[in-house]
Chain A
Amino acid sequence: GENVGLHLPTLSVQEGDNSIINCAYSNSASDYFIWYKQESGKGPQFIIDIRSNMDKRQGQRVTVLLNKTVKHLSLQIAATQPGDSAVYFCAENRVDTGRRALTFGSGTRLQVQP
Chain B
Amino acid sequence: ETGVTQTPRHLVMGMTNKKSLKCEQHLGHNAMYWYKQSAKKPLELMFVYSLEERVENNSVPSRFSPECPNSSHLFLHLHTLQPEDSALYLCASSQGSGIMNTEAFFGQGTRLTVV
Residues of B in contact with A (beta carbons under 8 Å apart): 2, 4, 6, 31, 33, 35, 37-43, 45, 48, 50, 55-56, 87-88, 90, 92, 97-101, 103-109, 111
Cα distance, A98 to B2, chains bound together (Å):
27
Chain A: residues with Cβ within 8 Å of the partner, total of 30
* 19 more CB-based (< 8 A) A-B contacts, given A31-B101, A105-B42: A2-B37, A2-B39, A2-B88, A5-B39, A6-B40, A41-B108, A43-B2, A43-B106, A44-B43, A45-B2, A46-B105, A51-B101, A89-B43, A98-B99, A99-B45, A99-B56, A99-B99, A100-B56, A104-B35
B56 touches A6 (CB 8 A): no
Residues of A contacting B106 in the complex (Cβ-Cβ under 8 angstroms): 36, 43-45
Known A2-B88, A43-B107, A43-B109: A32·B39 in contact at CB below 8 Å: no
CB <8 Å contact, A34 and B101 = no
- State the total of A-B contacts with C-beta under 8 angstroms: 80
Q: Is the CB of B103 within 8 A of A6?
A: no
Q: Is the CB of B42 within 8 A of A89?
A: yes
| A106 part of interface (Cβ distance < 8 Å) | yes
